[in-house]
Structure 1
């Protein structure tokens, strides 16, 4: 099973969502999970993971099936030796599940990010990973369902967060 995760912040609560799907080219989800948690911690520059990680872990605790990989909206690495949200999630999961970061904008010091063009878009997505070779992760993101720049399952989890 594969999982896409996202978090939506509101003044009174934080919504974390997980879309589970069976294979990279899948066009529909196998399951949807939503966790309504307390308001997120304040944003700290350079420490975004502190704000989002607790919510991701709560929604992941609801997953009943083994995961092949987890896709997060953002970066795994912020630089050669600087862990981002995905790297912190990987460590929190005892390095048991590969994490793929898919970011929509370039980060100045991302280092090992690979640009991936999808659909007719001329703007790439930026893919980073841990527990899986980055080139393999980029191929997986290319194979994800959807004719547009953003894969269907990433759009789905984003909407699920905002609409829950």
Structure 2
């Protein structure tokens, strides 16, 4: 089972959405879970993970991680070429390095070209930026590229993004 996770911040809480699916080529999900976190850390520039990681960990407690082969996060595993940890790497460490984490970001950082693989999907000329830990980044990029959907963002990741923004 694969799980894609994302957090969206509301006025009084954070909403975390988990989209679970069986295979990279799936066009539908197995389950969608929504978890609200009411005690959310303030945003600290350069320390985004401090705000988002607790929300992700709280939501991941709702599923049996023994059944999860990969976690996809909206963001980066590493934020620069010197392997400065991003959200994905912190999540991997928090889960005791047991589950590979793939980061899928929509924008690039200027200093992380060696830690990401740009992935073009559909007719878009704007890549997604795939990074990974616990799995080869090139293999992770192939899996993201193969995901269902004809647009830049794979269908299930787009669905997750939409669900996080719903009230």
TM-score (norm 1): 0.97
Which residue, 128, 144, 147 being the options, matches 1:144? 147
Which residue number corresponds to residue 163 of structure 1? 166
Which residue number corresponds to residue 45 of structure 1? 45
1:81 Cα deviation from its structure 2 partner: 2.3
Which residue, 116, 120, 132 being the options, matches 1:117? 120
The answer to whether 1:13 aligns with 2:16 is no
TM-score (norm 2): 0.95
- Whether contact under 8 Å (2:17, 2:164) holds in the other structure is yes
Matches within 5 A, 1:1-164: 1-64=1-64, 66-79=67-80, 80-110=82-112, 111-164=114-167
Q: Which stretch of the first structure deviates more once superposed, 85-94 or 36-45?
A: 36-45
* Alpha-carbon distance in 2 for matches of 1:81, 1:134: 13
* Alpha-carbon distance in 2 for matches of 1:32, 1:112: 30
Q: Which stretch of the first structure deviates more once superposed, 17-26 or 64-73?
A: 64-73
CA RMSD for the aligned pairs?
Answer: 1.0
* Alpha-carbon distance in 2 for matches of 1:44, 1:108: 20
Extract structure 1 runs of 4+ deviating beyond 2 A. none
Which sections of structure 1, spanning at least 5 residues, go unmatched?
none
- Work out the number of aligned pairs and report it: 164
1:45 Cα deviation from its structure 2 partner: 1.4
- Whether contact under 8 Å (1:102, 1:127) holds in the other structure is yes
- Whether contact under 8 Å (1:75, 1:85) holds in the other structure is yes
* Alpha-carbon distance in 1 for matches of 2:39, 2:103: 24
- Whether contact under 8 Å (1:10, 1:39) holds in the other structure is no
1:46-78 Cα deviation digits (max 9, x unpaired):
111001000001111111351110111100000
